[in-house]
Amino acid sequence: MSFAGKVWRLLVGIKDGLVLLLLLLFFGLLFAALTARPSPGLVREGALLLELDGSIVEEAPPIDPLEILMGGEVPAGHYEARNLIRAIDGAARDDRIKAVVLDLSRFTGGGHVHLQEIGAALDRVREADKPVLAFAFAYGDDAMMLAAHASEVWIDPLGGAIIAGPGGERLYYSKLLEDLDINARIYRVGTYKSAVEPYMRSDMSAEARENISALYASIWQEWQANVKKARPGADIERVTSDAVAWLNESEGDTAAAALAAGLVDKLGDRTEFGARVAELAGADAWDTAPGSFAKTELNVWLEANKPDRSGKAIGVVTVAGEIVDGDAGPGTAGGDRIAQLLDDALSSDLAALVVRVDSPGGSVTASEEIRRAILRHKAAGIPVAVSMANVAASGGYWVSTPADRIFAEPETITGSIGIFGVVPTFEDTLAGWGVTSDGVRTTPLSGQPDILGGFTPEVDALLQTTVEHGYDRFLNLVAQSRGKTAEQIDAIGQGRVWDGGTARQIGLVDQFGDLDTALRWAAAEAGLEEDGWHALYLGNKPSPYASMLEQLIAPESGKEAHTRDLFGLAAIRREETARRVAGDLRRLLTAQGAQAYCLECPSAAPARSEPADRQLLSLLARIFGN
């Protein structure tokens, strides 16, 4: 009995300990739930701090709570452009905000259209006689485009700035596939549909070079015009024509070189920058640490300045990221998910619908599913507008065809009207290992498509015919939408990519304008007064559990890894390159239908996922494992 009593007391002690642990966990989660949501009461007189620790996107991907728990750190942020614009415009009107502060030390970029729109909002702050101050350790092209709109641009004395311009190298895999005896079977339509070139060539075709050169020249011209207008003293020509000579003039001091070229106004570390902000916006009464200043952070400010919800609702559905089959997203345009959002909204008595597109395209079937869902709204008799952001190409244009009116910006990339499919087969790979195939067919299609034994000529012909039929359907959809013939669209199609200005001239776009312009047009078409409507964004709300985990797990974790000098910028490029290669290989190896995708379009900020290096290694393992 003495032994049994000891065991019993041990079990009771374990039970009590577990109960106590669960109670502590419960109250900890309860506290996190109560504090995770920013309180409007925390708005303070001083500066609005925009600490952009990540990228600017059209639609932020969800934070995976499991990823936070397993990784032990909060991933880099994604900031929706419309929220930033709303916050900045609110700061311009509110007397409590004395200045707007941009901390771009860990900023990883955004699309040109988003940057231009945010820059215009910063200009409105300055027009309200409020200063805008920017700080970074190092400025790249995107950070410089934002900082150019600041009244004071600061840089750390150990930092620097470099302007690279759009463009760069692409990888081509034909020799690798040849060495591995992988047969990349390519089916395409379009002289300029260069999305498949990495799998069939060792270099860029003349047609692709012509198209991309014209596109990048337009983007570069717009970038320079925007920066020079916002910052007339910046000597962009000096910085970009001979960067080595420019840097040598300052004896390798990159910060001094940036100052001499007028890219920045002042050299100073974060403490000195904070002291300057405190002069303009006030000192922080609660935090006396060096470099502190009175401030309100973005999340708190947004919570205190919610959008107006009066009047009739105009629905806004976002098609952002690669268009894929299934329920993927937000941040990726899952066809099933977006179609369901649109169908659910059919009963919401919307006055109009605006489709916001920021996508290089993707699956033909998913694009068609979204298009059909938009048509169901159009059949309800409401106006439908499309607002193009940075990219609305290929499948991104496919989903735009139901619109009564298409809005874009000069920097928008659109077009890429073409279709392709890529299917690898491994008959030669297996033959190299002594594995061959044989069998009996009752028809030429028996057992096909066979990725191990190879395709029959009939399968090749069928797949190519299917792609050609899809291209004809694409042409006719665009022709019907734009009031042209299929032959006229074919002349500007063929997979060619256009900047927004040219797209308007050739009739792919109706007029220039941002999302607000499209909303106002839709409201007018619906017969609504100027103050008689509001935008209703269709989509999923962020998970509260992710916010709780962000509060529980060290919010500063991982930030220092993103702080970068000019060498660190190269590390960021390495990550982007690895992600791009992983995407190239995924398109080759994963099961996909016909694609209306613009590979030559500049990529948007990636959705949260496993690290690019890990993606790349896993895909390479799949290749060499075959």
3-state secondary structure 432-497: HCCCCCCCCCCCCCCCCCCCCCCCCHHHHHHHHHHHHHHHHHHHHHHHHHHCCCHHHHHHHCCCCE
pLDDT digits (tens, 9 = 90+) for 46-93: 999 999 998 999 998 877 655 555 555 556 688 999 999 999 999 999
pTM of the model: 0.84
| Torsion from C-alpha of 318, 387, 404, 480, nearest 10 degrees | -90
Which residue did the predictor score with more confidence, 27 or 4?
Answer: 4
Q: What is the gyration radius of the CA atoms in the chain, in angstroms?
A: 27
Average pLDDT over residues 518-543: 89
Residues with a known catalytic role: 193, 394
Among 176-180, 289-293, 563-567, which is the least confidently predicted range?
A: 563-567
* The pairing of beta strand 413-415 with beta strand 497-499: antiparallel
Structure tokens at 460: 């090749």
Kindly tell me if the per-residue pLDDT of 496 is higher than 80: yes
Kindly tell me if the per-residue pLDDT of 25 is higher than 80: no
Q: How far apart are CA 212 and CA 225, in angstroms?
A: 20
Domains by residue range for the chain, with CATH: 40-163+231-304 (3.90.226.10), 174-218+312-530+564-600 (3.90.226.10)
> What's residue 540's pLDDT?
64
394: nearest Cα among 423, 357, 354: 357
Among 274-283, 371-380, 500-509, 553-562, which is the least confidently predicted range?
A: 553-562
Find which of 26-30, 145-149, 322-326, 599-603 is predicted with most confidence, using mean pLDDT. Answer: 145-149
Which residue did the predictor score with more confidence, 597 or 527?
Answer: 527
pLDDT digits (tens, 9 = 90+) for 466-481: 888 889 999 999 999 9
- Percent pLDDT > 90 in the chain is 51
Average pLDDT over residues 362-380: 95
Q: How many CB atoms lie within 10 A of CB 436?
A: 9
Average pLDDT over residues 382-402: 96
Residue tagged 């709300």 (tokens): 541
> What's residue 460's pLDDT?
86
Task: Kindly report the backbone phi and psi dihedral angles of residue 533, in degrees, each rounded to the nearest multiple of 5, phi listed first.
Answer: -155, 165
Structure tokens at 376: 């169901």
Kindly tell me if the per-residue pLDDT of 482 is higher than 80: yes
> What's residue 584's pLDDT?
67
Q: How confident is the model at residue 359 (pLDDT cuts 50, 70, 90)?
A: very high
Which residue did the predictor score with more confidence, 312 or 42?
Answer: 312
* Angstrom distances, CA of residue 121 to CA of 92, 149, 172: 9, 9, 41
Contact between residue 502 and residue 398 where contact means Cβ atoms under 8 Å apart = no
DSSP string, 539-584: SPPPPHHHHHHHHHS-TTTTSGGG---HHHHHHHHHHHHHHHHHHH
pLDDT digits (tens, 9 = 90+) for 162-195: 898 988 888 888 898 888 888 888 888 766 667 7
Query: For the purposes of burial, counting CB atoms within 10 Å of the CB of 441, is it exposed (0-12), middle (13-18) or buried (19 or more)?
Result: exposed
Cross-strand partners of 55:
78, 109
> What's residue 539's pLDDT?
82
Query: For the purposes of burial, counting CB atoms within 10 Å of the CB of 376, is it exposed (0-12), middle (13-18) or buried (19 or more)?
Result: middle
Structure tokens at 445: 């299609």
| SS3 assignment, position 172 | coil
